[in-house]
Chains A and B, each alone.
Chain A
């Protein structure tokens, strides 16, 4: 009885709270606060440098001269000391290492090493990496300098509005509450910068050097501008190879993505039919193909299609001639086998994904469509496909990128061939395989980096272009 009463009173309290929240007075007050907030923001928006200098007080200028000084003047001791320490550390770093690292970044070394004479020499690769790292620190210092000024300026506004300068405890409390996202994302952000962004920038920069061939440490590397891209576009041997591989790569990426998606969806729809018995078993078979490591499958397929493999064994036992499915002359046969093998590996992923999506579909839509007289075909194209594509657009894009950069398929099936008319490549190689041949097998790192930059531009342009035009992006909140 008492519980019932307690529940009743609780419900009443919540009702009152809601009433209060949406009462005229409260709404008015909230509106006034909002207005004030907007006014402050407008000041910020208009705060061009002139306005800033007109309104900033001496404490702000103090922080501009010495990081943290303004905060100290506002008696924000801990915060001030943190900024001050950062500035001191930055100065020490740049005097002792950073300046030299930036200088080395431009020169990429001046002394060629000579192990016989025990001259250590400069390592251009390390210098480039350290240079990039120092540029990161430069950016970090600028960001810290900006936040230092912004912070003290905010404090000035806060004080002008009658408040007190924020204490360190309050700031820390905010980091654990309102600004918790900053706390939690700081470490991953640093990790991403060091382990992802730095190597990517390094790779991009390599494309603008002469690294590779004879120019490998202890030899010194030099900046060569756009020379590698010029080679890709104009050099007699490279340009035709690049264009041939690029066109095949695009064809491969689009066709393999389409095949995998169509087969995966088809299989999912088929296994979703009520008339199919033992669905779990049928679904298990493709998963088996998915569960086996890709390269094992590829080696298996290579053996099956090899001249001494079981397929040829059957052909010769039946009185036919042995077929070199993956040999030198087998351009389109090998490409077709590549598509089949890739489908074998990738279709289960799409099937599993679309099975999940299909199980979430509203069956009322189909019933309505049936009543309206829509054919099964129409139902598929008007209901099923848009719904599945809407849900899987990001996956579709990642499939496309994955297929565009599918290194394993032709490396395992037909690696090691360098055909006539191709520069260190074969007619089934994708750009990623060519990149590997050039940079790993032949040490042409710079040209390899230039190719990878081209790959990056193509894949990012296609993915972004497709994604921003897709319903998944445009109607994210409306299509449910």
Chain B
């Protein structure tokens, strides 16, 4: 008897298995029923989130901890449009993800059919690539291409829109299809001549600085970064997403640079004579006032994306390729630099401007984060949401391992943290506990995922930093808008402990500095289900250091100024 012909949905599942997919984050609807049906006959684990946005952030968190491509499956129309924020978040941080969206049947395309949305068209600006499948026999090729594109070069999200007649129609094409991507080039190593020229520039430096970004994390270059720093005798600062690629406790570490970075890291970037950027794209939160950024130093820019060349600054050397490979090319060609005096200066800044927070008075988020760091001995995966608590997490949870701190860097998506932590918990193989550090604002954007966490008995620690404010916006209104608070007071926050209990989730409350350690220790002992820790925090605290947006690095604030500052000229 002839083998039974598979339908599009079954072929899709077969192809996913070949790509090594073991988990799909999704939410069903009319136009993906054939695919949800096919999943039942496979070993792939389906994580049903409570909202499609949550599915994308969870897949994102899963991708960040596993290094694999996150997979999302949702229905057409609103199901598909709900994924856009998550896709955009992944795009901004170069996270590999493949999103399958259902679609109305092909003959209905363009007719405003029920739950039809041109999701492929809507996705263009926020995906690395997208497909609208018009022929079931194209599926094996498209899926193979999608996973290859998502996970190679500068990684990113790919969307596949699947009309229902495609997923339910017969597929006769072989599963091991050939890719057809004549326009897609993946850079790996740099030309040797360029590397030699770069090494010659590096040799002349007396005040070197390495800036480690997300690209270094994604290429697994942390050992090479450390080797380079130690070999040269160069201090290392990190972008927000680069934290952990170089151990925070290393004597050469300056911590995070940029708007809420350390004074030492920012001063060093201002005064160095050589800046080696490894996988950073010079975001405006890093550069501060661009006209004054990196004006007195030679810049070596290592990036896998050729389109980053000259986008923000014009480097002396641009080495296009995988960070780890390029560092391995560079390492044998460089030697220890004459940087003793510089290291002394930088160390002086570190000692003079340490990160600190007031230990007295009401509970501080910084204290909770610092205590969590101590209780876990720094061995935790921390997923932050977006806002003040995020910056304090970056400052006070000293990451020694790449991929230890996850957050939405480029997009700054509030609501990211909690579902991303769910995905991270599902993918986590490190043995470290996963802790979500969330604001009361961001948590309330995606808290429906408490059900997902509970249903899957995820050993996730959910810290809700509750100050009844959208703290970061409040801080800006305080500093730059004459304390005219508009739309930042979160009145009638729920009792988060009762809320957790409504979902059958264990919960504790911390409202004094003195209780933090005891309660965090208690929460860390629960490892077979989620636990929520409601932290009732100081309402009007502010994150420092701070370089006002668009200001010069020299204008860095280390405490709240007595006078009202001018309204910022930069973006955010």
- A and B: partners? no
Interface residue ranges, B against A (CB under 8 Å):
none
